[in-house]
Amino acid sequence: MMQIPARPFDFPLARDRVALVIIDMQRDFIELGGFGASLGNDVRPLQAIVPTVARLLAGFRTAGLPIFHTREAHRPDLADCPPAKRLRGAPALRIGDAGPMGRVLIAGEPGCEIIPELTLLPAETVIDKPGKGAFYATDFGDELAARGITQLVCAGVTTEVCVQTTMREANDRGFECLLATDATESYFPTFKVAAIEMIVAQGGIVGWATDTDTILGAING
């Protein structure tokens, strides 16, 4: 077992049981004209991490390790999107509304797709999720169990919402999670910082955190 330098202490990498999960790197969150921008957010910080996420993805591909991508994706009839989620604030667009890239966060619409820079390969698995976490109302847990995965390297957006929620869900299910700190981002820089501190607090109550170069050095070293 290899030890990866991380916070709050070294991560005990089990190379034969680790997978990468890239969370919600979708056009609706990353690109101008998408849902994130319609909420008044500056998408440039999210766009800035794309090369790092792509490098992390390429490293896992080179290592031949399992890779998962998640998409926040709802049914066209919105049966899986309760009012408690959809009717928040006064955005220019709500989930299911028609936008520049099709209906917002609806499965099969252009805006719901992973950005072109991170296009999936046939061997990679996509998990469509109706909630913030990757485990809620999905078969993600079953997919991981079928592959004998017990550790997750996590990346994507946003740090404090879907990434942290997925890590918390994973921790509750017995998975060890390592966050790639430079391959995740928030529309709000202070939220990213706070989320990382929450994850590593109290001896890693949710998980570990380190940078992409350190992770790639371990899996491809």
Q: SS3 for 76? A: coil
Phi, psi of 90 (to 5 degrees): -135, 65
Structural contact between residues 156 and 97, judged by C-beta atoms closer than 8 angstroms: no
| 112, 162, 177, 182: the active-site residue | 162
Residue pair 4/214 in contact by the 8 Å Cβ criterion:
yes
Catalytic residue (choose from 112, 128, 129, 132)? 129
- Annotated active-site residue 112? The verdict is no
In the chain, helix, strand, coil percent, each to 5? 40, 25, 35
Task: Tell me the pairing of strands 176-185 and 102-103.
Answer: unpaired
- What is the set of active-site residues? 24, 129, 162
